[in-house]
Structure formats: C-alpha cells, structure tokens
Amino acid sequence: MKFDQPAQANPIDRMQVVGRPIDRIDGPRKVSGTAPYAFERHDIAADPAYGWVIGAGIARGRIASMDISAARAAPGVLAIVTADNAGALDKGKRNTAKLLGGPQIDHYHQAIAVVVAQTFEQARAAAQLVQVRYAPGGGDFDLERQRDQAKVPKDDGMGSPGATQVGNFDAAFEQAAVKVDANYSTPDQSHSMMEPHATLAMWKGDQLTVWTSNQMIDWGAEDLAKTLGLRKEQVRVVSPFIGGGFGGKLFLRADVLMAALGARASGRPVKVALQRPLIPNNTTHRPATIQRVRIGAKRDGTITAIAHDSWSGDQPGGGPETAVNQTRLLYAGENRHTALHLAELHLPEGNAMRAPGEAPGMMALEIAMDELAEKLGIDPIEVRRINDTQVDPEKPSRRFSQRQLVECMRLGAERFGWQGRSPVPGIRREGRWLIGMGMAAAFRNSLTMKSAARVKLEKSGRVVVETDMTDIGTGSYTILAQTAAEMMAVGVDQVSVRLGDSSLPVSCGSGGQWGANNSTAGVYAACVALRRAVAGKLGLNAEDAVFAQGKVGNPGGTMVALTQATSDGELVGEDAIEYGDLAKTFQQSTFGAHFVEVGVDMHTAEIRVRRMLAVCAAGRILNPKTARSQVIGAMTMGVGAALMEELAVDKRYGFFVNHDLAGYEVPVHADIPHQDVIFLDETDPTSSPMKAKGVGELGICGVGAAVANAVYNATGVRVRDYPVTLDKLLTRMPDAA
C-alpha cells in the first residue's frame, strides 16, 4: 500500500478497539514467567552448551599471544573460538568495530574469544585459564582533549547535514539586546537494560537459527549473514520477547556472533549471555557531549539569533551524537547556525540510546532557554510561546503537520500549578528543603519506515497477525492486535499475534519512536488486503463492504459471519505500508512539555524529585495505557540522566570503570513518588493511515533540563554539567539560616 496522500476517513476512525486502554495481552505471560526470553529457551535444545565471552584487557593495541591450552584441557570444555580459528569474518554494515577482535584490538572488552563448555560454570572457570599477552597501543579517550581535532561530518548518519546555516548568525548575535552564551556537557551513559545481550544459536547443516534479544530483526539477520559470509536466507533470527533494549539492541552484537561461532565449533546448540561488566564496554553506549548554545533576543523575548554546536566522539568510522537536531526545528529565529563536531575516540562504540540526539541535545538547549527567560525577566513558558513557529525555521515553506507545543505548555502549567512557582530562585522553603519548579519543552521527530505484515482469517474466525516486529516492553503485541481487531471488526480476544521472527514479513522494527505508527500501519495495509479477499470470496464489493461485530455485508444489506468466507479454508492478506513524500512536504514531529518539582536539602544539597508531569501531543494514541507506561518510563530515565547516570571514563586506559548495575546508578521507584501524563486529543493524517506517531522517546526529551531548571529555581545554583550531583551544588548553596 502506497501512502502518499493524507489519510481520509477509514475503519480505524471508529475507535471501537484502537484508542482504548486495553491491558497488554502479553502481560500474563510475563508476570507468570512463561514469556520465553532468549537465554530461557529451554524448549529449543534439551542439553545446550554454554559460552563465556572473554573481553580484551586493553583499549587499543594488539594481542601478542594467547595461550588456550590449559583452558582447552579443563573439565567440560568443548571448544574455544578466537580470531585465529574462527575462519574468515566480515563486518556487518551497522557495526563500527569488529565484533571479534584479534590480533588488533579496537576497544576495551572487545570480544577476543568464547569458551564453550558443557555447563555455564565450566565455561566460566575455563575462561579464567586463558592467558593473553598484549602489546598496548596509544589511544585517545578524552573528548575534551580531542575537541579541537573534531571535524564537522558531511551528514549526521541519518541523512541530515552535519551543519546548517540560515541568515547571518554572527552579526545578529552581536547586535542582540539580550544574549546567552554557555557551554553544557552530558556524560557517557549506558542503556542498563535488565535483560543482558543474550543468544541461543543452533546450526542445522549450513542453516543457522539464533534466538536472541534484538530490536531490529531484519537488520540483525542481514548483518549476521554478512559477518559469517552466508546468504541472508541461511540465517533465521527469532526474538519474540525482549527484556529492555533502549537502542542498545538495535544492532548485531558480540553475543550473537560468539554463540554462532561457538555452536559451529562445538557442534552443539550454544547459549551466550554477555556478562554485565562487558555490556557497557563491549556493546554501544550514549557518547558524551560538549555543547555550546548561543541565543540572542530582543527585549520582548523574540529570538533573533540561535546557534547550537555539539562535540562528541566515536570509533573511527563511527558517527556523532546528533544533539543539535531539535534546535533546527523547535524555535523560530531568522539567523541560525547548528553544527555537529565528531572527534575520533577509542572508547567503545557510541550509538543510539533512549532518544538519541534530542535527549542530550535538549538537556542543553532547554537550560539555555531558561537562562534566556531569566535574563529577559519573562516567564520561561512565555518565552517559548513567543518563539513558537508553525513552519520549519530552516525551511519556512514546509509547515509542521501538527504542532501543539503551546497548548502542551498551557495545559501543563494549569494542571501542575505553575502559577505557584516563585520566579526568584531560592525563596520557597519547607523545613530544611528548598523547593523549586522547572519546565522544558519536549520534542522528538516522527519517522516513517516501510513495514509489512501478514494477516490470516482462520476457518474458526480467529485472526492471526504475523510480522517480524518486536516488543521491547512497549506493548507491540497489544496495539497490533487492536489494529487487526478494529479492521476486521472482531474482539481483541479473537486475535493472535506472532512477532519477532525473520521468517515473517519484514517490519519497521522497534526503535527511534517509529515502531508503533509504522508497524500498525503495516498491519492496517495487510488487513485492507484481507478485507478485499473476504469481500471477493463472498461476492461483495470490497470498497463498499461493511465489517461489524464479526460480520460482513453490503451497506444496509444482510450481514453474514466472517467465517462464511473461510468455509473452504483460511484467507490471507499480506502487504506493506510504503511512504511517499508527505514527510518531505510536511515536517512531522511530536511535541510536549515537562514539568518537575524538586526539593533540595539546604544542608546536604541532596536532590529529591517530588512530582512530575508530561503533556504530550503525538498524533492518535493507539492505547493510552501502554503509551502512558512508555512515557512514565521515559520520564524516569530522564531523571536518571539528570541526576545520576554517568559512565566514569578511565582516561588513562580507555574503559568505563563503573561497568555494572552496582556502580552505574539508575532511578528506582522511591526516587519519584508521583508522575502523571496527559495526552492531547490529536490525529495526524499525514503520518500514516493510523494518523498516529510515536510517543515513548518524547517522554525523555526535555526531562533532564526540566529537572536542572527546577534545581536552579530551588537553590539559585545553575549546573550546566550533567549529572546534577550534590558536589556541584554544595559550595554555592544559599545560606541555610
């Protein structure tokens, strides 16, 4: 199905199933422990072997020698795979560094071997017997030191330019009546999902099947085949349930390759789970940024000049953290400049994590907007309202398809009690606590991507949806079932959904906030094909046929049960949603506003988040319950980024020191006592037949700045370097007397 014109009225608009807060249909399996995660697939192989991955002990250099003799002779050991005996390996096009290192080492904890044994404990014990001698080489591990060597890339890796310029920023900024010119920084961060990167691999002849934890099934199959020198059809990737990904499982990682190599070498099915300490250093992470934001404005608050530069680093051949994306679109201003600066670093790969680009970018931009508002003496919400725009500021001929930023801020201020905020920092006190409120705009682009599905109508009347779409805890099973139920006019309990298998039609996958809108649109397209098949079987006009309450018929005519169409066997509809140029004609984005209230202990500078509110405008909300869960989770991650998350870099030896869940802090329930979410009633007919967008990553964008702004409002201490920890406040706290 080609989607190249704005959607008109269609069956989804009935909203009898879509748009309802239906419980997640996969919930009972997850709470009962019967949802099969990759490492828990006990039904696949009765007696699998286990692999233990050995990670490099240096960040850059070469393996001078590796002695595996003692490990090979250890009890239960079946095989040891290294670069010397793995055979010829290529590199997946989405991998920056090789997944199996040796003799050259690209980063610390790069996989250099897998020890396969009868039991997990035997594999772990034997791995300790492998003796590796290294010839360390020099590397660059400090973004600040490499800042001056950073270069502006041709593009951001997603098709947008590395730098943009509109008007004459320098002249306009020089002449501005009010100016903000400040540097901000965000640290390296880790995804910290509960489920580690884990895989069970099994060969049958030259056919490889991996049961793994992966967000993008087709990408994984393609890159695994390329790495192993196989045809894509020789590889099957299965991932029906994922215990958290957040971008860290978008791409093929070492667990998959090492399980496949171990299984081939041992002749046994092999399970591999990356040890928790390997995950930050072996897989991807969010790279640190240094950002400079400059804003010039008139006394009335109108922005006349806005610039945003961001520096980040990655492995050779990698890409930048796209932290200036939102600044190109969020606020008006005639004179504009944005640029990404990419330094070559030899830390582990930097890549997608929890709203890449906008999440760290807005942590800087939205503090700068708060600083501008203070210099102007204008309320922060009013400054943002003054500089709202209904067109792309860099391309004024292109309008936003929907843009309700001002309404999000207005409603949020009303519900949160913004009028009770003191514009003077450090005034409001409750006992030993300084109380402050902060807010920030929320912005995240809405991306469209081809997505396919197959929908069957069985003889029993049950509808079966099949697509390789994944569910990373976001509710894909449920919203796809709701889509099919709405289109075929049956109850959700009459729909079965099969996901996460590369043998199924290729979907958009889960990531970048594109999953919900595009995958449901693919199911919509397949259901349109199935409705035609049903109508044709019953001799009805497909364009006029009415589907309602499990029946079908002509308008005003007799309705018959859907099962009459399947008297001779099941019917199948298969199609994909393919997009035209609407995303080029209209700027498709999601908007919101975040509000945060904090308490800061005036003696210790301990920060406590007291309450949070997110107001979101993100097209049609397909399931308010699952969407709310996503946004609350994202808000929680935003608090983590603001107050605690930081990978500590050993800049001498090039690794992340706090590479486990004991040393890398993330928020827990007790950290945030109250969160609320409001969705605006919105549809966007330019986005897809579903008139939906995505919302999960919108929930994190702006949260960090809202927290930092609230801390400033409470204390009068402006922190521009995340995370906002008490040591950055203590020496500047107001008098406690």
Give the domain ranges of the chain. 2-35+448-581, 38-138+191-282, 392-446+588-737
How high does pLDDT run on average in the chain?
Answer: 97
pLDDT at 737 over 70: no
What per-residue confidence (pLDDT) applies to 652? 96
Give the integer Cα–Cα distance in Å for 543 and 527: 13
CA 209/CA 232 separation, integer angstroms? 11
697 catalytically annotated: yes
- Residue 249: which of 3, 520, 600, 511 has the closest Cα? 511
Section 307-312 average pLDDT: 98
- Lookup result for tokens 């890449």: 356
Among candidate residues 547, 522, 515, 520, the one with its CA nearest the CA of residue 533? 547
* Cα distances (Å, whole numbers) of residue 400 to 4, 70, 101, 279, 361: 17, 65, 46, 39, 21
Element spanning 122, H or E = helix 120-127
Residue 642: per-residue pLDDT: 98
Nearest Cα neighbor of 642 from 613, 667, 663 is: 667
Omega before residue 36 within 30° of 0, cis: no
Closest to 718 (Cα-Cα) out of 213, 337, 145, 182: 182
Spatial distance between the Cα atoms of 80 and 116, rounded to a whole number of angstroms: 6
- The two tokens of residue 162 are 């590395």
Kindly tell me if the per-residue pLDDT of 178 is higher than 70.
yes
The tens digit of pLDDT for each residue in 466-520 reads 999 999 999 999 999 999 999 999 999 999 999 999 999 999 999 999 999 999 9
Helix (H, G, I), strand (E, B) or coil at 587: strand
Residue 46 is predicted with a pLDDT of: 86
Q: What is the share, in percent, of the chain residues with pLDDT greater than 70?
A: 100
pLDDT tens-digit readout, 372-405 = 999 999 999 999 999 999 999 999 999 999 999 9
Residue 50 pLDDT grade (very low, low, confident, very high; cuts 50, 70, 90): very high
Tokens of 372: 């501008």
Q: Which helix (H) or strand (E) holds 478?
A: helix 476-488
Q: Which long-range contacts (CB under 8 A, 24 or more apart) does 683-686 make?
A: 683/619, 683/620, 684/401, 684/402, 684/446, 684/588, 684/619, 684/620, 685/6, 685/7, 685/8, 686/6, 686/7, 686/401, 686/582, 686/583, 686/585, 686/586, 686/588
Fold of 38-138+191-282: Aldehyde Oxidoreductase; domain 4 (3.30.365)
Average pLDDT over every residue of 266-285? 97
Q: pLDDT tens across 19-33, in order?
A: 999 999 999 999 999
The pLDDT, as a whole number, for residue 599 is: 98
Question: Does the pLDDT value for residue 158 go beyond 90?
Answer: no
C-alpha distances (whole Å) from 98 to each of 105, 110, 228, 530 are 9, 8, 12, 44
The CATH architecture assigned to 392-446+588-737 reads 2-Layer Sandwich (3.30)
User: What pLDDT score was predicted for residue 383?
Assistant: 98
- The structure's pTM equals 0.98
> How many Cα atoms occupy the beta-carbon half-sphere of 658 within 13 Å?
17
Of residues 75, 139, 143, the one with CA closest to residue 107: 139
Q: Are 56 and 109 in contact (CB under 8 A)?
A: yes
81-115 per-position pLDDT tens digit: 999 999 999 999 999 999 999 999 999 999 999 99
Q: CATH number for 2-35+448-581: choose from 3.30.1540.20, 2.60.120.380, 3.30.365.10, 3.30.70.330.
A: 3.30.365.10
Query: 468, 441, 444, 443: which is closest to 454 by C-alpha?
Result: 468
38-138+191-282 and 2-35+448-581 share a CATH fold: yes
Q: What is the pLDDT of residue 736?
A: 81
Q: Please report how many Cα atoms fall inside a 13 Å half-sphere around the Cα of residue 373, on the Cβ side.
A: 23
d(CA 328, CA 336): 8
Q: In what order do the strands lie in the sheet with 551-553?
A: 546-548, 551-553, 559-561
